[in-house]
């Protein structure tokens, strides 16, 4: 049963990730992102990390994707654009190089740490203590990163609204007559 859940969740993640990249319509890409995030949440449930699964669904699949859709609709990005015009000619080869480098780095990290991952950390017997440790870590050691992330989201939304605001045209002053 665990294998079936793993295969289905992994299929959700892969289909959603391909959909994010392959879809031409940005709204459809955002829906592919939702599918990917739900697949990751299923993986969390399978690993009995219910809190992380709930956070995954509520925060990422809920709030962040809604924010993406809001920005997409606010900017009107879903209109057709000519993709044959290359504003920066080197960006596509550079993106391929960076993508391959990232895959190599992640693969190397997984291979070098697979023994550590297989063992895993020892958990305390009480499930409640793990939540307390998470809360203590999040709201004491990592509180700066937590708050900076919230500020970053607020600045992103404010910047988006400012960028899309239409400039008011000032009518020429008709009261003045040539001097």
pLDDT at 176: 56
Tokens found for residue 19: 């959909």
Kindly report, residue by residue over 33-48, the tens digit of the pLDDT.
888 888 988 888 888 8
pLDDT at 11: 92
Q: What is the mean pLDDT of residues 155-178?
A: 64
Kindly report, residue by residue over 92-145, the tens digit of the pLDDT.
888 899 889 888 888 887 787 776 655 655 655 555 677 777 778 777 777 777
How far from each other are the two terminal CA atoms of the chain, in whole angstroms? 88
CA–CA dist 30, 16 (Å, integer): 9
The percentage of residues in the chain with a pLDDT greater than 90, rounded to a whole number, is 7
φ/ψ of 89, rounded to 5, equals -60, -25
Whether residue 80 has pLDDT greater than 60: no
- Sequence-distant (6+) residues with CB within 8 A of 43 are 6, 9, 10, 13
pLDDT at 97: 93
Whether residue 14 has pLDDT greater than 80: yes
Tokens found for residue 150: 């919230």
Comparison of pLDDT for 163 and 171, the residue scoring more: 163
CA–CA dist 26, 10 (Å, integer): 23
């Amino acid at each position: 049963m665990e294998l079936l859940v793993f295969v289905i969740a992994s299929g959700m993640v892969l289909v959603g990730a391909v959909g994010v990249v392959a879809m031409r319509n940005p709204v459809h890409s955002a829906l592919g992102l939702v599918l990917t995030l739900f697949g990751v949440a299923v993986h969390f449930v399978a690993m009995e990390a219910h809190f992380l699964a709930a956070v995954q669904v509520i925060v990422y699949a809920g709030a962040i994707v809604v924010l993406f859709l809001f920005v997409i609709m606010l900017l009107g990005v879903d209109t057709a654009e000519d993709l044959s015009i290359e504003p920066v000619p080197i960006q596509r080869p550079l993106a391929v190089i960076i993508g391959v480098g990232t895959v190599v780095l992640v693969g190397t990290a997984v291979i070098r740490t697979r023994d550590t991952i297989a063992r895993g950390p020892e958990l305390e017997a009480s499930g409640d203590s793990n939540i307390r440790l998470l809360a203590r870590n999040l709201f004491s050691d990592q509180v700066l990163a937590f708050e900076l992330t919230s500020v970053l989201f607020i600045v992103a939304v404010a910047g988006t609204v400012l960028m899309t605001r239409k400039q008011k045209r000032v009518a020429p002053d008709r009261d003045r007559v040539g001097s």
